[in-house]
Chains A and B, each alone.
Chain A
């Protein structure tokens, strides 16, 4: 059964690139990796999803190595509004009985 581990907190400065890594050693063959962003008093919001290699959209990139035991969310040129909690989610595949395993979240603080 996959377990996801991510840093509790990180901080960075405006304009920097931020990389948040999630470890998921027991990821199953059919599992996808998804990242969500959550602001205070709101529900999480989908950022990006991938299965392997690299995925990029208008807000982030997701890097997944060949062994898929970790993944890295990359936020380019962050701003103060990127201060939030970021969650890694693994699972949903048939081999893991469709379970969804959420990380405990990484609190990202962006400083001016």
Chain B
């Protein structure tokens, strides 16, 4: 059974803190994605990675960075958390050749920045 896991389901951080969100997939997928999901806005792509150490900006990369040192792990970093980054964060992975091939999602991390 395919699986994408995220390090936390709920997280509360203070403004200005550095925040790490971890995602691990066990499907040997090349593509991995980070989204944020807000009511009425659907999913918005923050970053995606198509290979180890490779990354591409999505629609809303400002205030975020990513790291992919191993194929199975993709980390989202909030360098200095702000209240407007309070959101649901979803990680996904997919198999090539296409970026829009079926994506498998993790359960999400609900981040609250106070």
Contact = CB atoms under 8 A, between A and B. Distances in A.
Nearest to B106: A43
17 contacts: A34-B102, A36-B103, A41-B107, A41-B108, A42-B105, A44-B43, A46-B102, A49-B100, A49-B102, A89-B100, A92-B99, A92-B101, A98-B56, A99-B45, A100-B99, A103-B42, A105-B42
B44 interface: yes
Interface of A: 31-32, 34, 36, 41-46, 49, 87, 89, 91-93, 98-100, 102-105
Contacts of A99: 45, 59
A71 B44 CA distance: 21
Interface residues of B, number: 24
A25 B57 CA distance: 24
Contacts of B102: 34, 46, 49
B90 interface: yes
A31 to B, nearest CB: 8
A17 to B, nearest CB: 24
Contacts of B99: 92, 98, 100
Interface in B32-84: 40-45, 56, 58-59
Given A43-B105, A43-B108, A100 B42 contact: no
Interface string B84-114: 0000001110000011111111111000000
